[in-house]
């Protein structure tokens, strides 16, 4: 059997946006993903359905796997012909032990690639507002380890040499802070030299504790400041007072889990990230319904087709193309319930003769009879409504003399259950954000299918629905909606109002770590 391949990927220290493009491509191809707690689990969203996840821990003093066991897994899976992604926090070559893991592959003739990442010493400092070099304060920087163990006896950091650098970045030093302080001061580093600890840098859990070389150890003990953290020593630390930016964002510290099926026209996740929230998006990809042929037959005999959203338009035309039919041979008029459906029809050069989006932005939950009265239908008209509110074809019925057939061209399902489980392994969420009614149907289907995941989702304190139709469906299923954000032109207004309230609630947050 031909050997597979191992990709050692530098994932960055936590912010999933810092992973290199080459790392994303490797994840998309991977069949097995071996990752540790310092790599953002949000990156697992890039992994294809059916891939296997292997969590190897690597928490200080609490490794769930020994290094030798990790090496064995990489070798074993690659020898089985698998493409393996070894996802490592920060940069794999900077205290990431990639040398040992790559050597294990080389001994067995397994091809591998190393994809560099942003090391935590650089990224955490930047997100804390501390530039490691500065024309006035620092012309050189050293990266050292503060970790001492039996395996590196006789190879301890040369503190005499380290003390001579303008800026010193110490990895894995929290446990040995008193010793590091003692050695640097003994080697001539002024006790008053500014120092800062940055914990969980680039994530919503980031905390910065500032002090001096002399008192940073005692301040860390008082604040119960734990690993993982980077220690930065040097005059550049003073600049964080004016250059700190990340922890100043209004939603900093808020963790939001998003379910959204609509194509990224609004960009909910991007907006929340710009405001400082740490987001994780769960892909909701509708699947074609099984009764597409019957829907097409109904379309041919209908006077109007009303599309509730963009997915109904896309799946309708996909079914039309698969059946070898031409829309020009279907003599019917088209209407759209929301902006997405109208835009998708226009993109296909289809005339939208009635656009309900100004009145029914949700594109869902609207009584057919109300739609008919707005159009001014004549008695005997035949209407086909394609909406995510329906699965397959419902029995036709009449209202005000108009014959309605209610159907759905798709069904909603979340297949990324393994990804969701990994998200909940290491962290909780403050807000559950449901971006549209399709996502709500998918969430409920997931809750019915995966009760353990459902219980975790129910523990999230804030439940936000975008669209009154989405909130109505959530309420009907028994979810406790804490806030509804309107769609369309009101979206930004409502979102900013929520932002301002969240900012007020969190104004005193993290003050215990103020420098």
Give ∠ CA 38-42-46 in degrees, rounded to 5: 120
Mean pLDDT of the chain: 88
pLDDT digits over 151-191, tens only? 555 678 999 999 999 999 999 999 999 999 999 999 999 99
Is the pLDDT assigned to residue 284 strictly greater than 90?
no
**Whole-prediction pTM:** 0.81
- What number is the average pLDDT over the span 260-285? 82
Task: Look at residue 515 in the predicted model and tell me its pLDDT.
Answer: 43
pLDDT digits over 481-500, tens only? 999 999 877 888 999 999 99
DSSP state of 336: E
Task: Look at residue 39 in the predicted model and tell me its pLDDT.
Answer: 86
**Which residues lie below 8 Å from residue 265, measured CB to CB, with a gap of 6+?**
339, 340, 343
**Which residues lie below 8 Å from residue 96, measured CB to CB, with a gap of 6+?**
10, 88, 89, 90
**CB atoms near residue 358 (< 10 Å):** 10
Helix (H, G, I), strand (E, B) or coil at 141: strand
Task: Look at residue 400 in the predicted model and tell me its pLDDT.
Answer: 83
Is the pLDDT assigned to residue 290 strictly greater than 90?
no
Distances (CA, A) of 110 to 30, 303, 400, 504: 15, 63, 71, 55
- What number is the average pLDDT over the span 86-107? 95
Task: Look at residue 511 in the predicted model and tell me its pLDDT.
Answer: 45
Bridging pattern class, strands 287-288 and 410-411? antiparallel
Task: Look at residue 352 in the predicted model and tell me its pLDDT.
Answer: 92
Query: Lowest-pLDDT range, 134-138, 299-303, 343-347, 413-417?
Result: 413-417
- What number is the average pLDDT over the span 68-78? 95
- What number is the average pLDDT over the span 503-510? 55
Show which residues are catalytic: 36, 58, 172
Is the pLDDT assigned to residue 192 strictly greater than 70?
yes
Cα(168)–Cα(163) distance, integer angstroms = 8
Task: Look at residue 151 in the predicted model and tell me its pLDDT.
Answer: 58
**Which residues lie below 8 Å from residue 398, measured CB to CB, with a gap of 6+?**
404
């Amino acid at each position: 059997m031909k050997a597979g391949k191992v990709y050692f990927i530098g994932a960055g220290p936590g912010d999933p946006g810092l992973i290199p493009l080459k790392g994303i491509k490797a994840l998309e191809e991977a069949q097995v993903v071996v990752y540790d707690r310092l790599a953002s689990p949000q990156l697992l969203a890039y992994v294809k359905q059916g891939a296997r996840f292997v969590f190897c821990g690597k928490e200080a003093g609490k490794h769930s796997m020994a290094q030798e066991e990790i090496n064995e897994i990489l070798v074993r899976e690659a020898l089985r012909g698998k493409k393996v992604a070894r996802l490592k926090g920060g940069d794999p070559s900077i205290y990431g032990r990639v040398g040992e893991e790559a050597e294990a592959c080389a001994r067995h003739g397994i091809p591998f690639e190393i994809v560099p990442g942003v090391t935590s010493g650089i990224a955490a400092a930047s997100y804390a507002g501390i530039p490691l070099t500065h024309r006035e304060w620092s012309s050189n920087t050293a990266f050292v380890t503060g970790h001492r163990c039996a395996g590196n006896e006789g190879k301890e950091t040369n503190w005499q040499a380290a003390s001579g650098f303008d800026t010193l970045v110490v990895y894995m030093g929290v446990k040995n802070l008193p010793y590091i302080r003692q050695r640097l001061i003994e080697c001539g580093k002024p006790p008053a030299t500014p120092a800062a600890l940055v914990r969980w840098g680039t994530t919503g859990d980031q905390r910065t504790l500032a002090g001096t070389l002399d008192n940073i150890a005692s301040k860390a003990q008082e604040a119960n400041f734990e690993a993982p953290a980077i220690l930065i020593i040097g005059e550049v630390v003073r600049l964080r007072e004016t250059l700190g930016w990340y922890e100043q964002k209004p939603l900093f510290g808020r963790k939001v889990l998003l379910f959204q099926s609509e194509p990224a026209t609004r960009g909910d996740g991007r907006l929340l990230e710009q405001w400082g929230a740490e987001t994780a998006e769960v892909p909701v990809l509708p699947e074609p319904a099984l009764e597409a042929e019957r829907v097409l037959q109904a379309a041919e005999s209908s006077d109007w087709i009303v599309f509730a959203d963009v997915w109904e338009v896309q799946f309708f035309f996909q079914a039309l193309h698969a059946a070898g039919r031409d829309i020009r041979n279907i003599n019917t008029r088209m209407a759209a319930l929301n902006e997405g459906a109208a835009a998708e029809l226009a993109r296909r050069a289809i005339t939208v003769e009635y656009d309900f989006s100004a009145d029914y932005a949700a594109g869902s939950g609207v009584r057919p009879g109300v739609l008919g009265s707005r159009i001014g239908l004549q008695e005997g008209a035949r209407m086909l409504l394609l909406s995510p509110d329906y699965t397959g074809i419902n029995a036709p019925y009449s209202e005000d003399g108009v014959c309605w057939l209610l159907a759905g061209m798709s069904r909603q399902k979340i297949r990324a259950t393994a990804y969701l489980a990994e998200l909940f392994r290491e962290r909780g969420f403050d807000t559950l954000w449901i971006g549209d009614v399709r996502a709500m149907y998918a969430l409920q289907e997931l809750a019915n299918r995966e009760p353990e995941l459902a219980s975790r989702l129910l523990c999230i304190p804030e439940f936000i629905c975008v669209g009154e139709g989405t909130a109505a469906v959530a309420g009907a299923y028994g979810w406790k909606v804490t806030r509804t954000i309107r769609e369309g032109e009101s979206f930004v207004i409502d979102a900013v109002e929520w932002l301002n309230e969240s900012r007020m609630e969190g104004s005193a947050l993290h003050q215990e770590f103020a420098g």
